[in-house]
Structure 1
Amino acid sequence: MAGGAMARPRALPSQPSAWRTLATAADRERLRGWRDAWGKALAAARASGHGAELAAGGALFNPDAALPGPEPQPGTYRCRVTKLGAQSPGLLDYAAYPPFTCTIAREGDVLSFAKNDGVQRPAGLLLPGDGQRMIFLGTMMLSDERQARDYGTDPERDMIGAFERLGPARWRLVLPYPRWESLLDVIELVPAG
């Protein structure tokens, strides 16, 4: 896979919502705080003068926009990252990055996600969630690393998020309270080509 080997939990869940047994306590807490993360991040981005960009994003920046429906098909996607709300003074409350390439792949009974380009590259599994969203468990690959660390081995690299459908051929990965920089990362995915 172009993004490097997947960050795999030690055992894969056999039933929906079994991701809770794989996620670390810290990550379960971060995911429980998803609505708080959205509220703080959106307020900070608006206060810093980015209300127009948020409005232009439509469903992408609406915390309640998730739709039921089909999961993404394996393949190459055009993705873009938006970081909302600064974790500390001196950081930006809104940062939108140019599109990059990411991959959705089949890993046995589950899907995987990997950001293929850039200095910070999330990689991990998309596990069954509540029917309206999947749960991302993964790790952050940095710089020139060629393989992701296993989830659960480095708390500074562990990531959790919600993978949601926004419309026909459009999804987002929402990462509440990531370890670095922002209060919320939103990654939009649309099929490449």
Structure 2
Amino acid sequence: MMKWMLPVAAALALGLTGCSVYREATSPMPSTNVRWQRVATSADRDRMRDWRKAWDEALPLARKADARAVAAEPLLFDPDRALPDAALPQGNYRCRTFKLGGRGTAMRDFTAYPWFDCRVADEGEVKSLHKITGSQRPTGLIFPDEATRQVFLGTLVLGDETAPLRYGLDADRDMIGYVERIAAKRWRLVFPKPRFESVLDVVELVPTP
């Protein structure tokens, strides 16, 4: 169950030290029966509001870096591709990440990563999404929004960490993105202006047979 990921900001007590900080950061938290706008930080609401600007900045850079790779995935890299019934069904998925528009001297303007394992679980009023493998593992909750879009709020788990920080505790770990269905059994999770490496991340999700 992933309901513990989302914060009630007032519950964060200042001045905690040592192990108590870790327990506070990863302790169970209720309340998923709210709209995502009431849970998201102001910085993340701004990122979601500017999703189109992120595409407009990132896509030309990606095309310039690797036009053939971008052209090979016309549905995945079409900002306006969004079909009804966006909700991700519960189950296991193959996922792969594309980073568009490099940020920092070490990143290219188009980077494609190999497939990895993801899981979507039913948490009642929302669903949870976890990347299971890899050194950078987004994990969080998916909130209903529109017929063609749902909203992901979560945090980034790094390395050998065994539990995610609570959303809202560390702005550098906070993640916001949106889920769209782009084909019969094909979805994408788009992260506009992630904190590191890229202008836009696109994660493709395909159910595991």
Q: TM-score, normalization: structure 2? A: 0.85
Q: 1:142 aligns with which of 150, 158, 169?
A: 158
Say which is worse superposed, 135-144 or 69-78, in terms of deviation. Answer: 69-78
Question: Aligned residue for 1:8?
Answer: 6
CA RMSD of superposed structures (Å) = 1.7
| Alignment of structure 1 residues 1-193 onto 2, 5 Å | 7-10=5-8, 12-14=31-33, 18-48=35-65, 50-69=66-85, 71-193=87-209
Could you report, residue by residue, the CA deviation over 1:67-107 in whole angstroms, capped at 9, with x for unpaired residues?
11152221110000001101123321111001000000011
In the alignment, the residues of structure 1 paired with residue 156 and residue 116 of structure 2 have an alpha-carbon distance, to the nearest angstrom, of 16
For 2:129, what is the secondary structure of its paired residue? strand
In the alignment, the residues of structure 1 paired with residue 179 and residue 87 of structure 2 have an alpha-carbon distance, to the nearest angstrom, of 9
For 1:128, what is the secondary structure of its paired residue? strand
Aligned positions, number: 188
Q: Is the 8 A contact 1:5 1:146 kept in 2?
A: no
In the alignment, the residues of structure 1 paired with residue 176 and residue 60 of structure 2 have an alpha-carbon distance, to the nearest angstrom, of 22
For 1:102, what is the secondary structure of its paired residue? strand
In the alignment, the residues of structure 1 paired with residue 92 and residue 103 of structure 2 have an alpha-carbon distance, to the nearest angstrom, of 31
Q: Is the 8 A contact 2:140 2:153 kept in 1?
A: yes
Q: Is the 8 A contact 2:3 2:31 kept in 1?
A: no
| Identity rate, percent | 47
In the alignment, the residues of structure 2 paired with residue 26 and residue 13 of structure 1 have an alpha-carbon distance, to the nearest angstrom, of 20
What amino acid sits opposite 1:34 in the alignment? W
For 1:58, what is the secondary structure of its paired residue? coil
Q: TM-score, normalization: structure 1? A: 0.92
Q: Which runs of 5 or more structure 1 residues have no equivalent in the other structure?
A: none
Q: Is the 8 A contact 2:3 2:123 kept in 1?
A: no
Report 1 or 2 for greater relative contact order, CA contacts < 8 Å, sequence distance ≥ 6.
1
Measured after TM superposition, the shift of residue 109 of structure 1 is: 1.3
